[in-house]
Amino acid sequence: MLAIATPAAAAPARSLPLPAAVIPFTSATVTDPAGGTVTVSWSAPQARSVRVYDGTDPAHATHYVGASRGTGKLTVHVPAATREYFRLVPDRGAPLTIGQRSLGLASDPNLRDVGGYRTTSGQWVRDGVLYRSAALSLTPADLKVVNALGLREDADLRTPDEATATPDIVPARAHYDDFNVLGAQGTPAAPITSEADAQQLLIDGERQMVLSDSAQQAYHDLFTTLAHTPGASLYHCSAGKDRTGWATAVLLTLLGVPSDVVMHDYLLSNQYYFDSPSVQSTLAAMPPATAAIYKHVLDVEPAYLQAGLDQVKASYGSMTNYALRGLRLSPATLALLRAKLLTGAPTGRA
């Protein structure tokens, strides 16, 4: 595929050797497809040059598309309805494979890769292994794209009523599991009559995802299943933003992703879900005063996730303690998750 290199500043002189297993990239991104192209950007200050290969399989991205300096970028033409992975091969250190975060699906715009983030240890969360999503109400064209991901697990975090009302279109070769975070439907929530009511509903819901027995059991089962499932997995709720958002925040934190990046990933649901045509048309059909209230139910806000994080700190002291004591995950399960989802050797520094 045609690639256009963009010149970058020359890398500084190197004074320390770089272990072969250490990934030297401090940042790397692939933009969402636009007009048939993506931009692959990276920064590897300890590398002099980087060669770029692509492919539709993260394990076999072998088609050479171009090269640039240790800090640089390439604009690459990509086929429509195809997810591309890019293998960045530096002249020093270990390579890194990254992909487009969003699959760009019209019927499930919030289906995206959990990988592609650097941890505080210098390792990276693998691309092409774990996905988060809204309910899998997929069109035939979008199902074809999802089937190409090679999913082996479809973990549904919804209630039985939700799953019955909108059943998943389970990807080919994937095993379906239901891990009901909310449990039995209890006392209905108080009426939502103001923007503050709507925000408090989501804040309280986030806290309950930390504290409730049903949520603790569901997330125990989810993370245990993810750790023991070979190949790629996907988990989702209805919109892919609240129950799914909490699962992702917990997992990324346990993997060592910085807190600001965890929040950034959480807020991406506004870009992929809230800004989607279906949600915006729903709000547009409401009276303006009603839409002003319910936008807070349909979006994600920093205060929502922060409420869950604050509850973890108050109840358990740390995310690791929450995982061990609240979710009753074994140290062996946490080790399996890290082995499956992280790539590269730790450097011990951010």
CATH number at residue 190: 3.90.190.10
Query: Quick one: pLDDT at residue 99?
Result: 94
Instruction: Specify the number of domains making up the chain.
Output: 2
Percentage with pLDDT > 90 across the chain: 87
Average pLDDT over residues 202-210: 97
Instruction: Indicate whether 173 pLDDT > 80.
Output: yes
pTM: 0.93
Same domain for 39 and 153, yes or no, is no
- If you average pLDDT over residues 218-224, what whole number do you get? 98
Would you say residue 8 has pLDDT above 80?
A: no
pLDDT band per the 50, 70, 90 thresholds, residue 189: low
Average pLDDT (162-170) is: 97
Question: According to the model, what pLDDT value does residue 12 have?
Answer: 44
pLDDT above 70 (res 271): yes
Burial class (CB in 10 A: 0-12, 13-18, 19+), 277: exposed
Claim to verify: residue 233 and residue 322 sit in the same structural domain = yes
**Residue 60 sits in the same domain as residue 91:** yes
Instruction: Round the average pLDDT of the chain to a whole number and report it.
Output: 92
- Per the structure, the complete domain to which residue 231 belongs is given by 106-350
Amino acid symbol at 211:
L
Q: Report the pLDDT value the prediction gives residue 139, as an integer from 0 to 100.
A: 97
Question: Which two structure tokens, joined as six digits, stand for 277?
Answer: 């045509």
Least confident range from 48-57, 119-128, 315-324, 341-350: namely 341-350
Given 100, 120, 137, the domain boundary residue is 100
Confidence band (pLDDT; 50, 70, 90) for 149? very high
pLDDT in tens, 83-124: 899 999 999 999 999 999 999 999 999 999 999 999 999 999
Residues 137 and 202 in one domain: yes
pLDDT of residue 10: 43
29 plus 77 within the same structural domain: yes
Based on the fold, state whether residues 92 and 110 are members of the same structural domain: no
- Given pLDDT bands bounded at 50, 70 and 90, which one contains residue 288? very high
pLDDT tens digits, 91-102:
999 999 999 999
Instruction: Indicate if 95 and 129 belong to the same structural domain.
Output: no
Pseudo-torsion of CA 22, 125, 39, 25, nearest 10°? -20
pLDDT, tens digit, 9 for 90 and up, residues 226-265: 999 999 999 999 999 999 999 999 999 999 999 999 999 9
The answer to whether the CB of 131 falls within 8 A of the CB of 233 is yes
- 148 against 184, higher pLDDT: 148
DSSP code of residue 335: H
Structural domain ending residue among the three candidates 40, 70, 100: 100
The closest alpha carbon to 266, from 350, 202, 182, belongs to 202
Q: Which two tokens stand for residue 14?
A: 């190197």
Nearest to 326 by CA among 235, 180, 223, 241: 223
Which token pair is 132? 């988060």
Mean per-residue pLDDT, 179-204: 86
Examine the fold and report which residue of 69, 100, 131 is the final residue of a domain before the chain moves on.
Answer: 100
Residue among 164, 161, 158, 162 at smallest CA distance from 178: 158
